[in-house]
Amino acid sequence: MPTPENESPVVVVVLKGYPRLSETFIAQELLALQRLGLNLALVSLRHPTDKAIHPVHREITAPVNYLPEYLYQEPIRVLKGWCRVRRLTGYKKAWAVWLKDLRRDFTPNRVRRFGQALVLAAEMPKNAAMVYAHFLHTPSSVARYASQMKGLDWSCSAHAKDIWTSPEWELREKLDDLSWLVTCTSVNADYLSGLVSDPSKVSLMYHGLDLSRFADFADRTHVRDGSEAASPVEIVSVGRAVAKKGYDDLLKALAGLPVDLNWTFTHIGGGPLLGALREQAAALGIAEKIDWRGALPQEKVLKALQQADIFVLASRIAEDGDRDGLPNVLMEAQSQKTAVVATNVSAIPELIIDGETGLLVPERDPGAMTVALTRLLREPALRQQFAETGNKRLRELFDANRWIGSLAEKLGAPSPPRKTGTDP
């Protein structure tokens, strides 16, 4: 593993892909852990596909090791990995666990996970102290097999899709095997606690925002009411064009807005459904009102939030069970005093209090979304109210610095130096 082996113990962090524009919460966490003195070695199962990165990624100095994305692409590396780890005391245990998993999930992906684990175990720094995986599905499988081979403890941060699209048997067995798990919503924590023999292993830990990067937009004033064609209300949404984001529902809601209201809609994000959404917008007759900007780095997202009047997210539970956890983009919007409309699925109500800090509507209900948007379009004073109360609650309860110290402690961060002399 191309990692300088320092004297301090290394926390090996297993990620599905790195860096990713859509996973700013992970980058934010990594930088904070680095600043708290943890020696990190990042391991990514996939190579990056985004053309840009966020500023936070440039500040993370931990080395990154990219495992073979597909085993046939680097067969010699996989074979060398197997030769190095097959004599380890924990190899037989990992092999037995993997075979048991393979019988219940006979897929190429399951085979790939074990091959990646071989390489991870073989190339792990000698002073690796533990393995920490982001996401409870594929990354945690690789982390689990490799940790068993090396005889190390492993832990996990669970989020959304990784929980709700994984079979219950796999969740139960991983939860019993790992040392501890943190998850970003109380919905997740309640569900996972019910699956593990020792519920104390599961802890709620909101990602929150590093609010030092999202300064309070003190001069924000909401005045546009949609009555002037020259000054339309600006609506924005940030999210990948995938089923769980509900953008087809949102487009229907936008098409239902009263004809006397002047508005524009900006979408920021990539995703496989972009083409279909563009076609839908054209069929609904609203294409000329929409600006599709694609995936953007955080500084450009922040600028769009500062210019927007309303942030909207039509999240829903997808057919395969996939869903959002607590999308960071909602917090980012509130940090810039943008009024928020969202659906009341998953953990979103843990952040947005309907009628107090924003508006919530049922999932898959474009009509209800139209009503909520119409209300905010016409009432800038209500937008101002939600902007202020939402920002205040965000900064009181969802500052990432409230939680990161607890995570760093779990990962073995060095204790801060004690004060000396006459300092209290």
Cβ 21 vs Cβ 54: under 8 Å: yes
Q: What residue ranges in 230-337 does DSSP mark as E strands?
A: 233-238, 263-268, 290-294, 310-313
Q: Both 154 and 186 in a single domain? A: yes
Q: Considering the domain boundaries, does residue 225 fall inside one?
A: yes
Please report the beta strands in 153-197, taking only residues with DSSP state E, as ranges in sequence order.
153-158, 181-183
Q: What is the pLDDT of residue 325?
A: 86
Give CA–CA dist 53/18, Å, rounded.
Answer: 10
Q: pTM of the full predicted structure?
A: 0.79
Same domain as 151, residue 26: yes
Angstrom distance (rounded) from CA 337 to CA 353: 15
Q: Is residue 250 part of a domain?
A: yes
Residue-number span of the structural domain to which 266 is assigned:
214-397
Q: Are residues 203 and 220 in the same domain?
A: no
- The tally of domains found in the chain comes to 2
Task: With cut-offs at 50, 70 and 90, classify the pLDDT of residue 424.
Answer: very low
- Look up residue 146 and give its amino acid: A
What is the pLDDT, as a whole number, of residue 203?
95
Whether residues 244 and 366 fall in one domain: yes
- Report yes or no on 4 lying in a domain: no
Indicate the SS3 state at residue 312.
strand
What distance in Å separates the CA atoms of residue 11 and residue 407, rounded to the nearest whole number? 12
The string of DSSP codes covering 240-251 is -SSGGG-HHHHH
| Mean pLDDT for the stretch of residues 128-154 | 97
The answer to whether position 312 is within a domain reads: yes
Give DSSP secondary structure letters for 373-423.
HHHHHH-HHHHHHHHHHHHHHHHHH-BGGGTHHHHHHHTTPPPPPPP-TT-
* Contact call for residues 344 and 271 (beta carbons, < 8 A): no
270 in the same domain as 181: no
Give mean pLDDT, residues 196-217: 89
What DSSP element (H or E) covers 370?
helix 366-378
pLDDT class for 374, splitting at 50, 70, 90?
Answer: very high
Tell me: do 202 and 218 sit in the same domain.
Answer: no
421 pLDDT more than 50: no
Do residues 19 and 50 make contact, with C-beta atoms less than 8 angstroms apart? yes
SS3 content of the chain, % helix, strand, coil (to 5): 45, 15, 40
145 inside domain = yes
Q: Are residues 199 and 218 in the same domain?
A: no
- Is residue 207 predicted with pLDDT exceeding 90? no
Contact 10, 38 (CB under 8 A): no
pLDDT tens digits along 68-78: 999 999 999 99
Q: Mark whether 252 and 136 lie in a shared domain.
A: no
Q: Is residue 5 part of a domain?
A: no
* pLDDT tens, residue by residue, 265-278: 999 999 999 999 99
Give the range among 141-150, 329-338, 392-401 with minimum mean pLDDT: 392-401
Instruction: Tell me the average pLDDT of the chain.
Output: 93
Residues 195 and 219 in one domain: no
pLDDT digits (tens, 9 = 90+) for 6-63: 468 999 999 999 999 888 889 999 999 999 999 999 999 999 988 888 889 999 999 9
CATH number, domain with residue 65: 3.40.50.2000
- Three-class DSSP category at 170: helix
